Amino acid sequence: MARAIRADNLGSWLIKCDPLVWDFPGFVDDGNDLVLDTWSLHRNYRSDMMQPGDRVLFWLSGTQSRFPRGIWGAGYVTGEAGGVAGFAEEEDEFSYWLDEDARRAVRYCVPVYIPLRLDAPMTDADLRAAGIDDLEVQRMPSGSNPSWVSVDQLARLERLLGAWPEPPGSFAEITVTDRGAGFGDPLQNQAVEDAAMDAAVRTYEDEGWSVEDVSGEKLGWDLSCTHPDGRTAKIEVKGVSGSRPTVLLTANEIRAATNEHDWVLLVVTHALSASCEISEFSREQAVAAATPYVFRADLDSVLPVEVPPKS
């Protein structure tokens, strides 16, 4: 059975809260920071796809007049989903769980950054009045958590929601090694990159290619490959620990993809697993999918402003 959600049609994740299970009104009334930083969800292919930087909406269920059903927050996934974190292990006196069985059943959480829209929620009634009645959460309120919003649906939602919150500074930390850039912890990144390179070399050598590792030469690709039939390939290798092929491409790699006719992007997902998966993308696909993420600012010839001393 084909999966409904793919990298090319995902606009945003949507996580759900039942106020009869988790006391959202009490959380608000207690004067918390009103930013959600983690949430429980089901373990399935959807949660395995969630990656740092993905957009996410917070949906409140129920029929309370003060907190009506609808979108009460928008933000970002800040890390990969994993085993139970503090969300499900709160001390009893601070817990907002109203259903102890539900709390004990939590096995999986995702870190998020979701500022709540207490002054401007987008209620289900508002959405339907604007002609938006096809969201999965509207059609199947008891469906999967996480739910999701398609690219087209998100475009329509954004016209109602307004500007998306700015991302937090920490979730998208970029680390750079001799093989390029990646998200997150440098030691973890290095392990993922090494595993991805090993998988790539094995795959091409098994298919009869002669493989040379040129990753240290800053050419814009990692492997120069030659086949006995005369074909050549310049392989840029990227590895991710999760299932979604979201990677960072440097300006040099984009240049090579644009100019080298035999440049290929090879992405290894679940790179640290024995069941890693390898996908090849053409240079045209890589360039078309690339969007600006960081910008280089050369300030060498710019005079800095004078900052007044702190009092």
Q: What confidence tens digit (pLDDT) does each residue in 68-99 have?
A: 999 999 999 988 787 764 455 544 445 788 88
> Are 156 and 20 in the same domain?
yes
Q: Nearest 5°: CA angle at 184, between 284 and 175?
A: 70
CA distances, 161 to each of 4, 71, 156, 242, 290 (Å): 25, 9, 9, 30, 26
What is the Cα–Cα distance from 80 to 242, expressed in whole angstroms?
8
> Are 209 and 142 in the same domain?
no
Contact 241, 80 (CB under 8 A): yes
Count of domains for the chain: 2
Can you tell me whether residue 47 is helix, strand or coil?
A: helix
pTM, whole model, 2 decimals? Answer: 0.56
What is the Cα–Cα distance from 268 to 92, expressed in whole angstroms?
42
Q: From 130, 161, 192, give the residue that closes a domain.
A: 161
pLDDT digits (tens, 9 = 90+) for 237-274: 998 876 667 788 888 899 999 999 999 999 998 787 77
Contact 29, 96 (CB under 8 A): no
Q: How confident is the model at residue 187 (pLDDT cuts 50, 70, 90)?
A: low
Structure tokens at 86: 């503090």
Can you tell me whether residue 146 is helix, strand or coil?
A: coil
> Are 222 and 269 in the same domain?
yes
Range(s) of the domain holding residue 261: 174-289
Q: Which residue has the higher pLDDT, 242 or 304?
A: 304
Q: Is residue 305 assigned to a domain?
A: no
Q: How confident is the model at residue 308 (pLDDT cuts 50, 70, 90)?
A: low
**Residue 86: predicted pLDDT:** 47
Q: How confident is the model at residue 108 (pLDDT cuts 50, 70, 90)?
A: confident
- Smallest CA-to-CA distance from 111 within 25, 168, 36 is with 36
Can you tell me whether residue 192 is helix, strand or coil?
A: helix
**Residue 6: predicted pLDDT:** 86
> Are 254 and 204 in the same domain?
yes
